[in-house]
């Protein structure tokens, strides 16, 4: 059994790191979306009144922010090669933050809706930075579950968050982590982006929640159909969750076009309107995008960086894998495997409706 669980964990790590390793080989990326489901992205300057707190709690990196009258808590779990510092821009309050556009968009929409946002970094800071899932702890992997529990135990009383409904949102490795965490601690809702659990592990998580007297929380599985492996996991997880009696909703995210103004609108701290138009034109003339603005190939596999670096006025851009706003946006536009914020408001609305329904039944 234990050997099989390690195999499941290795499978999740393989899925998450496999995609990222291609990015590291090719250097890369950026996001954009238009249409009815698009959530406007928040520019860095929209954080002018933001007051995040950065600290290390029992050896674990944490960034958090509480609105004036918090109604809920949103725990956010990053993907491999990322960290809690992605969810806020660099500032005097958080000098180590690096602010990626999709993560920041999730944070700002949650804060505006009355959520205290708590971002925790996985313990594997010197390697792949993926999460070690519950039920698969082994000596050579840090126990992220216990780390997150300790952070909550220390932070919640101090920040005035005790008694508030706690929701969890994670992407890729973080998505798998929050799904497994639902079997360990009381959560009011889960959103797993671009990740599912191998069925053996899914069953163990559900059995663990039952044994602990926990009702497995309503779950949103948000995925990109282009990623066939994850799409299959999601299908299997939906069947298991429904059989368990869990409320589950699937949201699919598909490819979107790049427009001339989009980069300037969402990465305004690095890309102004003229540069946005210039990059769009070069991508179009070089065949990176078609006449419809759609990316022709996975940006993790194309050398779009060389095109950008040859343009005047781009030396300041962050282009390194996993820390590039442009790279992140392109990945979202292609819609194969990337954290996404287009459906943030829909996600939070579902959380709140399920919580209200659960409360009314309990009363």
> Considering the domain boundaries, does residue 296 fall inside one?
no
Q: Are 224 and 241 in contact (CB under 8 A)?
A: no
Compute the average pLDDT of residues 232-260: 97
- DSSP 8-class letter at 270: T
Residue 196's pLDDT is what? 96
> Considering the domain boundaries, does residue 266 fall inside one?
no
Residue 98's pLDDT is what? 93
Which range, of 24-28, 194-198, 201-205, 247-251, averages the lowest pLDDT?
A: 24-28
Q: Which domain holds residue 214?
A: 2-256+336-362
pLDDT > 70? residue 198: yes
Give me the residues paired with residue 251 across strands: 222
Which DSSP helix (H) or strand (E) runs through 108? helix 101-112
pLDDT band at 161 (very low <50, low <70, confident <90, very high): very high
pLDDT tens digit string along 260-306?
Answer: 999 999 887 899 999 999 999 999 999 999 999 999 999 999 999 99
Q: Which residue has the higher pLDDT, 191 or 51?
A: 191
Q: Which residue has the higher pLDDT, 41 or 76?
A: 76
Q: Are 6 and 138 in contact (CB under 8 A)?
A: yes
> Considering the domain boundaries, does residue 312 fall inside one?
no
pLDDT tens digit string along 104-128?
Answer: 999 999 999 999 999 999 998 888 8
> Considering the domain boundaries, does residue 284 fall inside one?
no
Which DSSP helix (H) or strand (E) runs through 205? helix 199-211
- DSSP 8-class letter at 251: E
Q: Are 266 and 31 in contact (CB under 8 A)?
A: yes
pTM attached to this predicted model: 0.88
The structure tokens listed for 129 are 């930075």
CA gap 204, 90 in Å, rounded: 40
> Considering the domain boundaries, does residue 95 fall inside one?
yes
- Give the CATH number for residue 202: 3.40.50.1820
User: How many residues in the chain?
Assistant: 363
Residue 358's pLDDT is what? 74
> Considering the domain boundaries, does residue 301 fall inside one?
no
286-295, long-range: CB < 8 A, 24+ apart: 289/257, 289/258, 292/257, 293/257, 293/258, 293/259, 294/255, 294/256, 294/257, 294/258, 294/333, 295/255, 295/258, 295/330, 295/333, 295/334
Which phi-psi region, left, alpha or beta, contains residue 244 (left: φ > 0; alpha: ψ -120 to 50)? alpha
> Considering the domain boundaries, does residue 208 fall inside one?
yes
pLDDT band at 61 (very low <50, low <70, confident <90, very high): very high
Compute the average pLDDT of residues 301-315: 96
CA gap 195, 181 in Å, rounded: 14
Give me the residues paired with residue 166 across strands: 73
> Considering the domain boundaries, does residue 79 fall inside one?
yes
Residue 24's pLDDT is what? 41
The structure tokens listed for 327 are 């790279």
32-35, long-range: CB < 8 A, 24+ apart: 32/256, 32/257, 32/258, 32/259, 32/262, 32/263, 32/266, 32/329, 32/332, 32/333, 33/256, 33/332, 33/333, 33/342, 34/256, 34/257, 34/259, 34/262, 35/256
pLDDT > 60? residue 211: yes
Mean of pLDDT over the chain: 87
CA gap 154, 332 in Å, rounded: 35
Residue 4's pLDDT is what? 42
Q: Strands 219-223, 248-252: parallel, antiparallel or unpaired by DSSP?
A: parallel
Domains of the chain: total: 1
């Amino acid at each position: 059994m234990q050997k099989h669980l390690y195999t499941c964990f290795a499978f999740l790590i393989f899925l998450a790191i496999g995609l990222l390793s291609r990015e590291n080989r090719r250097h890369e990326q950026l996001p954009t979306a238009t249409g009815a489901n698009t959530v406007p992205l928040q520019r860095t300057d929209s954080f002018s009144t933001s007051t995040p707190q950065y600290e290390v709690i029992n050896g674990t990196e944490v960034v958090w922010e509480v609105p004036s009258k918090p109604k809920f808590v949103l725990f956010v779990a990053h993907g491999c090669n990322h960290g809690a510092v992605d969810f806020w821009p660099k500032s005097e309050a958080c000098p180590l933050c690096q602010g990626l556009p999709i993560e920041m968009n999730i944070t700002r929409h949650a804060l505006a809706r009355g959520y205290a946002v708590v971002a925790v970094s996985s313990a594997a800071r010197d390697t792949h930075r993926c999460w070690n899932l519950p039920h698969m702890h082994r000596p050579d992997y840090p126990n992220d579950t216990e780390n997150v529990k300790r952070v909550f135990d220390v932070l919640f009383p101090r920040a005035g968050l005790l008694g508030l409904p706690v929701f969890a949102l994670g992407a890729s490795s973080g998505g798998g982590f929050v799904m497994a965490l639902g079997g360990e601690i009381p959560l009011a809702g889960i959103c797993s982006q671009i990740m599912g659990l191998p069925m053996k592990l899914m069953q163990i998580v559900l059995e663990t929640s039952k044994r602990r007297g926990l009702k497995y929380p309503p779950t949103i599985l948000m995925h990109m159909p282009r990623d066939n492996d994850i799409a299959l996991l999601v299908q299997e997880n939906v069947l298991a969750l429904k059989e368990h009696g869990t409320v589950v909703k699937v949201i699919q995210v598909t490819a979107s076009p790049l427009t001339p103004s989009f980069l300037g609108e969402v990465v305004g701290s690095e890309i102004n309107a003229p540069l946005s138009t210039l990059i769009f034109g070069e991508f179009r003339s070089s065949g990176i995008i078609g006449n419809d603005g759609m990316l022709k190939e996975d940006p993790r596999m194309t050398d779009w960086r060389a095109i950008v670096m040859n343009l005047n006025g781009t030396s300041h851009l962050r282009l390194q894998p996993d820390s590039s706003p442009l790279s992140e946006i392109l990945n979202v536009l292609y819609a194969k495997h990337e954290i996404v914020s287009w459906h943030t408001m829909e996600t939070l609305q579902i959380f709140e409706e399920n919580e209200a329904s659960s409360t009314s039944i309990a009363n």
